[in-house]
Structure 1
Amino acid sequence: MVGLGDNNNPSCQNNISSKAKDKKKNKKKKRGGSKRKMTAEQTSAFKSVTEWVYLDRHHHPNSSSTAGLSSWVVDDFGVQKSLGRGTEKMVFELHSHSKHSDGFLSPSKLVERAHGNGVKVLALTDHDTMSGITEAVEAARRFGIKIIPGVEISTIFSPRNPEMEEPVHILAYYSSCGPTRYEELDKLLANIREGRYVRAKDMVLKLNKLKLPLKWEHVTKIAGKGVAPGRLHVARAMVEAGYVENLKQAFARYLYDGGPAYSTGSEPLAEEAVQLICETGGLAVLAHPWALKNPIPIIRRLKDAGLHGMEVYRSDGRLAAYNDLADTYNLLKLGGSDYHGRGGHGESELGSVNLPVVVLHDFLKVARPIWCSAIKDILEGYAKEPSDTNFAKIARFTRMGSFKGSTPLSCGKDLIDRCLASWLTAEEQQNDEFEAIRLKLSHATINLSGVQVPIETK
């Protein structure tokens, strides 16, 4: 009789070898299976996406020539893979957080990490603030990364049945100039942040009543100066104070939605937030719908309000149920890591979500006309009245030093051309409306040293 540990038996060795091969095959399938040449649709999508990513570069690593494209294939899920060396994968990271909300890294460190992970386009989507965008844009210039200014807005879904009320997070993606009617969006975000202070204090009070004497000063110290505390900051304080073993336990026992220490803030209605995003030149996307208790009525109502897409992809792949929901309601299928930098095995790495090239193309196909229109509106405001205030709207997320390059800016037209070069294609820039704006600004002088760009306070 052959023992379980007897590997000298030929029959046993053959079985082990066979099982190992099967296991290897299954593993390969899970990773995307076979690789094949890109279809005509995928090739066209790849060329279009690559063109936009490298707009401000005369030469880029991924040549759009036939020879360059021949070094690329796609897996069973439509994610592009390189066959040769020297070519760069097109990685978009559309959901990330910095220390300006509840992340652990500064925007600069976040960008540096993204670069190290091969990310080419990064959306910084801090909770209820855009205060980290300027630093991210500045850092991105050093690493050759394109930044999509974003924000994750905390809202509430409030149907007629109070028992179905639940928090909903909406991602907003804007152009390089940011939102039109910025003050209106900033007021909404400021109200939410103020409500976060009240909410966090209430959580601490509830924990105190549960015999956990957590101190408010401990929570605010972790959050950092001027940052509105969130649940994660409370959870971190609980871990440091020794009341729970880890963040997961803090949420599982006390801070989950409806939990014994859970509290709501002053969040706007989800539909109102979606409408405002659309009205201010942004793309509205539902974040992590798998966290919702009743996703279908929420998606249905938000679609009516103007929702453009929803997260479907995670680092562990595409979620079929939410993919089907996106198809049902004709929504873009997107995704991101939701990276916070807290570390540990439970967190997805920055840039770890593989978005198929056709998905990226569909995203830009919807977003770019919206962004183009928003940029035009902001530039038209400056053309009508070339004041410091209106100039600041153009350069809201850009430090003045960025405009002081080797080529001096002789007039407003030069400034506009430089602003648009990294965001709009030559075809998009050369329409009649942009030409009219250039003509108006051809004699307008620019005094960079005298312009003060307001930076949002957290």
Structure 2
Amino acid sequence: MDNTEEEVAARRFVLRWACHGREAASDDEQGAEPGRAPVRRPRVAVELHAHSTRSDGTLSPAELVERAHRNGVKVFALTDHDTMAGVKEAVEAARRYPIRIIPGVEISAVHSPSDKSGAEEPVHILAYYSSWGPARPQELERFLANIREGRYARANEILLKLRALDMPIELEDVCKIAGNGVAPGRLHVARAMVDAGYVDNLRQAFSRYLYDGGPVYAKGSEPTGESVVQLVCRTGGLVVLAHPWALKNPSAVIKNLKAAGLHGIEAYRSDGKVSGLSDLADIYELLKLGGSDFHGRDDKEEPDVGSVDLPVLSVSKFLDMAKPIWHNAIMEIFSSISERTTDFNGSKGFRRISSAGDFCIVHLSSEDQS
């Protein structure tokens, strides 16, 4: 099937953005010869949902960026659970490759039906920021830190339930698997269960015990989905609902989050299918996106980085919507800087900055020190 003119223009726009304004590779930009059918160009590989060792992935941010490059990914968003601690490493690693990094995070939340007609259920919300990072990084980090703290309490509760099922595991072992400074998640517990011989693999740990509402499932201190959406909007991010097909009541969740400011949903699945919720996205005028949700599990069925076939028109619409949001956030960042210093490139607390990537590193470093 040949490309439409709109697709060709969208591909050129996305590739130029991914290449920081430089011309894209010639084999992506060549048109058809006069009188001949248009050339079928390769898709633009984009990854908008992936996890590193800074949450529950198995690859470091740098290793993840390297894998993305090997797979031909041009735009890569690191979306660790409830932390942006890996973004600096990802940005620095990307200097070696022709790849654009989108600073991101997947935030844990809960949805409670406003009419109390159904049960509360967990939701996950993706936030995407400009190359300059979030506006108000300290506010965002305090919010995320509260969620991460709740992960320790949740892990304890899960382990108590496992002990009651004659499957004792120590929190110390789970935290060791998670890594230094990483809040423990269900995947870390699952790995501990495999190590202890209670289950054969991670898939079995989740399908039997750790799934939402399962025998050892426990909640943390997650905020409401609406408050997460509002926070991301306030800090200059674009907000997308992750894997809505896994929700029990996706229509109600999408409706409520749209009212709070939601920009899009994941509609393109890793299995190559388009979610049945695509029509709902059209009704609420939401972006339709997707990503692999790569963790690096020892699972042959796990989709690889960049494997989701996200239409280039969807990526172009994503960038079009993000542009004014990110622009306003950058203006707020510069405004806050001007209040703290009159010498942006030389005064105390700043090093010389030559690119947005440099600024993101410095900006997020100030977040770590707050």
Instruction: State the TM-score, normalized to the length of structure 1.
Output: 0.74
Q: 1:219-258 counterparts in 2 under 5 A?
A: 219-258=174-213
In 1, the alpha carbon distance for the partners of 2:155 and 2:345 equals 37
Q: How far is the alpha carbon of 1:455 from its aligned partner?
A: 5.7
Q: 1:279-290 counterparts in 2 under 5 A?
A: 279-290=234-245
Aligned residues of 1:92 and 1:121 also touching (Cα < 8 A): yes
Q: How far is the alpha carbon of 1:120 from its aligned partner?
A: 0.7
Aligned to 1:419: 355
Structure 1, residues 20-54: CA drift from partner, whole Å, max 9, x if none? Answer: xxxxxxxxxxxxxxx22x21211221222122111
Aligned residues of 1:285 and 1:310 also touching (Cα < 8 A): yes
Structure 1, residues 253-275: CA drift from partner, whole Å, max 9, x if none? Answer: 11111111110000000000001
In 2, the alpha carbon distance for the partners of 1:185 and 1:71 equals 50
Q: 1:287-366 counterparts in 2 under 5 A?
A: 287-366=242-321
Structure 1, residues 1-36: CA drift from partner, whole Å, max 9, x if none? Answer: xxxxxxxxxxxxxxxxxxxxxxxxxxxxxxxxxx22
Q: 1:394-405 counterparts in 2 under 5 A?
A: none
Aligned to 2:70: 116
Structure 1, residues 56-103: CA drift from partner, whole Å, max 9, x if none? Answer: 5467445656469999755xxxxxx44xxxxxx421100000000000
Aligned to 2:327: 372
2:97 alignment partner, one of 132, 143, 165 = 143
Q: 1:93-242 counterparts in 2 under 5 A?
A: 93-159=47-113, 160-161=115-116, 163-242=118-197
Aligned residues of 2:12 and 2:24 also touching (Cα < 8 A): no
Q: Which of 1 and 2 has greater Rg?
A: 1
Aligned to 1:40: 5
Which moves more between the two structures, 260-269 or 373-382?
373-382
In 2, the alpha carbon distance for the partners of 1:136 and 1:275 equals 26
Aligned residues of 2:45 and 2:309 also touching (Cα < 8 A): yes
Q: How far is the alpha carbon of 1:318 from its aligned partner?
A: 3.4
Aligned partner of 2:234: which letter?
E
Instruction: State the secondary structure of the residue aligned to 1:128.
Output: coil
RMSD between aligned alpha carbons? 2.9
In 2, the alpha carbon distance for the partners of 1:233 and 1:63 equals 41
In 2, the alpha carbon distance for the partners of 1:388 and 1:452 equals 19
Tell whether 2:3 aligns with 1:49: no
Q: How far is the alpha carbon of 1:339 from its aligned partner?
A: 0.2
Instruction: State the secondary structure of the residue aligned to 1:227.
Output: coil
In 2, the alpha carbon distance for the partners of 1:377 and 1:304 equals 24
Structure 1, residues 302-339: CA drift from partner, whole Å, max 9, x if none? Answer: 00000000001122223241111111211100000000
Q: How far is the alpha carbon of 1:216 from its aligned partner?
A: 1.5
Q: How far is the alpha carbon of 1:383 from its aligned partner?
A: 3.3
Instruction: State the secondary structure of the residue aligned to 2:276.
Output: helix
Instruction: State the secondary structure of the residue aligned to 2:50.
Output: coil
1:385/1:67 CA distance change after superposition, 3 Å? farther
Aligned residues of 1:388 and 1:451 also touching (Cα < 8 A): no
Aligned to 2:46: 92
1:213/1:57 CA distance change after superposition, 3 Å? same
Aligned residues of 1:382 and 1:390 also touching (Cα < 8 A): no
In 1, the alpha carbon distance for the partners of 2:269 and 2:231 equals 27
> Which structure is higher in RCO with an 8 Å CA cutoff and minimum separation 6?
2
Q: How far is the alpha carbon of 1:456 from its aligned partner?
A: 2.9
Aligned to 1:85: none
In 2, the alpha carbon distance for the partners of 1:252 and 1:242 equals 16
Q: Percent identity?
A: 55
Aligned partner of 1:47: which letter?
R
